Chains A and B, each alone.
Chain A
Amino acid sequence: MRSAVAGLELLEPRSVNEALRMMRDRGPATPLAGATDLYVHLNSGTLKPRRFVNRWALDELRRIASKRDGLSIGALATFTDCLRSPLVRRRLPMLAAAAREVGGVQIQNRGTLGGNVANASPAGDALPVLAAAEALVVLRSTEGERRVPFSAFYTGYRSTVMRADELIVALEIPPVAGKQWFRKVGTRLAQAISKVVIAAVRDARPRIALGSVGPTVVRVPRTEEALASGASIEQARRILEAEIKPIDDIRSTAAYRRRVAGNLLACFWKETS
């Protein structure tokens, strides 16, 4: 481990309200969930925060419940919780599919949906699902609660509208009509970070979201529009390849990501027809 751990401070709230008070009064304090992302930073010596709020014991944040015909998923629900939940499997099968592709079993047991959203990596596997499902991010602070549409949550590369004293408490997902589809193309078949990840819903109004092809997870309105108004998949594919802005990095190249995204769109269209 590159960083010394001796100088770190861990706060242990017994309730969500206490956690929120700690974040207000003893900040800057960073909320911990499964710590799978934070630990990577700790290990590489790039972790800047010194004080942490451990909420792992706050089971009230882990609940997965039906909300009208949709879902409310507590921010602390792990990927394992998601993929084992009959409710998730019935109402949001593309989330179960994404959860199954995250890391290995250990990461699925510790990694949380809230952590994936807050971490704001463009490669987060659950993010395209939440974008395509048009989820709401439920943020709470000592001042109250607000609901932010997923499409307005990210403001740029690894930045969000969330304030330092706020917690994500849940993700609310409205009922999703139409066939759901998820696919991840990684650098190998398991335990890999996405080169391109896609979640999509086949409906009169198709919804398509991609990860790893831009600074944040993106919806592709022009492509969706084209498909909604009856364009051929070949046309839609060309629009998509122009609409996304992938980059070259150590995992792939921009040209290759464009091509793979186009192929995935074609697969989606074929497999949900």
Chain B
Amino acid sequence: MKSVGQRVPKLDAADKATGKSRYVQDLRLPGMLEAKILRSQVPHGRIVSIDVTEAWKVPGVRAVLTAKDIPAKVWGYSKDQVALKGDRVRRIGDELAAVAAPDIEAATEACERIKVVIEPLPAVYGMEAALAPGAPLLHAARGSNLVQTHLYEHGRIEEAFSKAAKIVEGTFVLPAQQHGCLGPAGAIAEWDANGRLTMHDPTQIPFLVQRDLAEALDISPADLRIVQPCIGGAFGARLDLYPHEAIVALLAKKTGTPVRILFSRDEDFQTDPVRPRTIVRLRTAAAADGTLLGRDADILVDCGAYVSWGAMTPVVMVNTFGNFYHCPAARYRARTVCTNTQPTGAFRGFGNPELLFPMETQMDELARALKMDPIDFRLKNANRAEETTPAGGHITSCGFKEVLEAVRTRLKRPAAPAAPHLKRGIGVAAVFHVGGGARIYRSDGCGATVKVDDFGKVVVVVGATDIGQGMETAMAQIAAEELGVDVSMVRVATQADTDIRLWDVGVHASRTTFIAGNAVRLAAKEARKQIEDARAALKLPADAPLDKVVRAEHFRQKGRLITASVFYDPPTSMVDKANHGNVSAAYTWGCHGAEVEVDTETGQVVVKRIVAAHDIGRAINPMHAEGQVEGGVIQGLGYAMFEECVLKDGRMQNGYFLDYRMPGIRDIPEIETVLVETNDPEGPFGAKGIGEPPIVPIGPAIANAIADATGVRMREFPMTPERVWRALRGNR
């Protein structure tokens, strides 16, 4: 193939590297005002009064809004969110008032002058405390801080555990993780004279925002258009509608002028829809010959003060829980809980890193207890192609064996360290993930239009969103391959808005290359057919260039343009009430191996080397696939080793990059990436998703390596030197 499988550099790389890409921070509309939100400094309380008189005295102020000035609409994932809070605050950072002024200094000063009186209420921060009887209630209407209970079961769980040769169990604690996107959140709103709203909004879900924002503003979705500027990273942080999007639209309406809101870095830390704090109690049972018998989990997931996508985490987790490995019995309960902390959301991997740290740790513990090689133990219980799991997952292509063997051959036991207080070890962990979309909405589809113009230029208009992952380049390669043209002839209209693009559910679940890729491939195929039909009808020679055929077809009597639109929705189903179903058109496997050195005197863990093998179906662009793997490994390394939100009385203590520690280049070891191609029957040119899987197994691989080196099991992230040091001393 000439385009697919080639290491085509990102089409937007030069613009990004030279500062030409326009992010929301770079956009400026004529007359545009800047907005600032006044936020609660009280974690839980009753709003007594908000007095904005003094704010109006700041020169230039054009609008000051509080709950009284906006439509009384409740919206959000579970209809518990409002744009500006009028009676209650439920966390530090809740939106109380908003100001629009010509510059951010004036808007900030006006906010500082607003007088707020809040009567504090008892607050609750831990999930277990929030579920205890008599706990302060966040949302009275729900009657409890419990949001939802998710149950799943297959096989005979009690029997499985009663006949097990070995059972391991443990409680695992996972912290909130910040997305820390390079581009903090922001948006620009402008209304035209006919009362139609345009949002310049770096969202991951333009078509759902069209619906949800219209609802929050009490306008018709037909009067709303979403334009996405270049997006400075997202990783799940832009997967919902957030209060600032409604607020900026309301300020723009009030002033009749475009208004922009940009979050400062500390505001971004305070409002980021973090990966939820999670507690997993897990037991796993196996027979003496290494046959997996059962697993049993009880899970708590923190939603924070309002329900957003964090509440979806158990639905994603259960997919792995029910499908991964041959496990004849499984039982699962997960509860989502509200606390007075920042609302949680989607984060790359979406529940899978939280679940697989426990699951893959116990796979390692069982292998050791049964004196089996951890890779052999996994192989013995591995999923295979062409099988249907007890959870209803239908497996098409499967490279599980290949990724395990790839790590086995590349991960070597290290030489003994130089000093007795240093210990070295190796560990592996595997991942199962959706690779062909994930039907969590009624539609998991994406539309695409391909047109070929008189000059042979191919324009792809696709519903999908590029958040930096390389969608644009992958779609161009797929269209070029199908049409038989060079990639340089293809443009992907990434700046097209929701009026022009065809519907797409959004960028999540590692779905874009698979779903949008299929839509683009089918549209390109149809365009190609139109060209070939024209060539035949017009009796043009087989070697007549493409543009010549297109022109001939265009300029003949009753001419036609070459254009094709396709909507691709994968052959999958939503889960039923019991959480069974085939949500993805393909599944994917990966395995990471880690080599570590542990300083037993300081607890410092140095990750020396990582091998990351992933079943990708086919790499449309191997260079970008490697980039996804390396990026995922690094983000997962941060989650496992460094990052956590330190809270005190509901306030984040380390909401800045100096103390919210993402890995720096010196913390990142050598990463060897292996791409396993299994040629999926449904994927475009055989491809499956790769965006999320690499963030998942790195943490447990490191934890298993620490156990190999020291005999100590880590069950809490991040595995900081202090925690490892305490664990080495028996947690004294």
Contact = CB atoms under 8 A, between A and B. Distances in A.
Given A187-B642, A188-B667, A256-B725, A5 B105 contact: yes
B661 A188 contact: yes
B664 A190 contact: yes
A193 B656 CA distance: 12
A229 B656 CA distance: 46
B601 A4 contact: no
B654 A250 contact: yes
A251 B722 CA distance: 10
B602 A250 contact: no
Given A250-B659, A263-B601, A190 B666 contact: yes
A188 B643 CA distance: 11
Interface in B650-704: 653-654, 656, 658-659, 661, 663-667
B104 interface: yes
Interface in A1-51: 1-6, 43-44
A188 B663 contact: yes
A260 B602 contact: yes
Given A250-B646, A256-B722, A2 B108 contact: yes
Contacts of B656: 44
A3 B112 CA distance: 10
Contacts of A188: 642, 661, 663-664, 666-667
B264 interface: yes
Contacts of A2: 108, 264, 266
A192 interface: yes
Nearest to B646: A250
A147 B666 CA distance: 40
Nearest to A191: B664
B721 interface: yes
B266 A253 contact: no
Nearest to A186: B661
A189 B663 CA distance: 9
A185 B601 CA distance: 13
B169 interface: no
Contacts of A43: 264, 266
A202 to B, nearest CB: 21
Of B601, B654, B722, most buried by chain A (CB within 10 Å of CB) is B722
A4 B105 contact: yes
A191 B666 CA distance: 10
Interface in B71-120: 104-106, 108-109
Contact of B601 (A5, A251, A259): A259
Interface string B590-611: 0000000000011100000000
Nearest to B421: A263
Given A250-B654, A256-B722, A263-B601, A187 B661 contact: yes
A252 B109 contact: no
A263 B725 CA distance: 13
Contacts of B666: 188-190
A193 B659 contact: yes
B658 A193 contact: yes
A186 to B, nearest CB: 9
A86 B603 CA distance: 37
Interface in A245-263: 250-253, 256, 259-260, 263
Contact of A263 (B266, B602, B659, B661): B602
A212 to B, nearest CB: 13
Nearest to A257: B722
Interface in A56-78: none
Contacts of A44: 266, 656
Given A187-B661, A188-B663, A256 B109 contact: no
Contacts of B725: 256, 259
A260 B603 CA distance: 10
Given A1-B104, A259-B602, A251 B663 contact: no
A165 B566 CA distance: 74
Contacts of A185: 602
A5 B666 CA distance: 35
B272 to A, nearest CB: 17
Contacts of B106: 4
Contacts of B665: 190
B655 to A, nearest CB: 10
Contacts of A191: 658, 664
A188 B665 CA distance: 10
B602 A192 contact: no
Nearest to B663: A188
B169 to A, nearest CB: 28
Contacts of A189: 664, 666-667
Nearest to B665: A190
Contacts of B603: 256
B55 to A, nearest CB: 13
25 contacts: A1-B104, A2-B108, A2-B266, A3-B108, A4-B106, A4-B109, A43-B264, A43-B266, A185-B602, A188-B642, A188-B667, A190-B666, A190-B667, A191-B658, A191-B664, A192-B661, A250-B646, A250-B653, A250-B654, A250-B659, A256-B603, A259-B601, A259-B725, A263-B601, A263-B602
Given A187-B659, A192-B664, A263-B602, 14 more contacts: A3-B108, A4-B109, A6-B105, A43-B264, A43-B266, A44-B266, A185-B602, A187-B661, A188-B642, A188-B661, A190-B664, A253-B722, A259-B602, A260-B602
3 nearest CB pairs, A to B: A189-B666, A4-B105, A190-B666
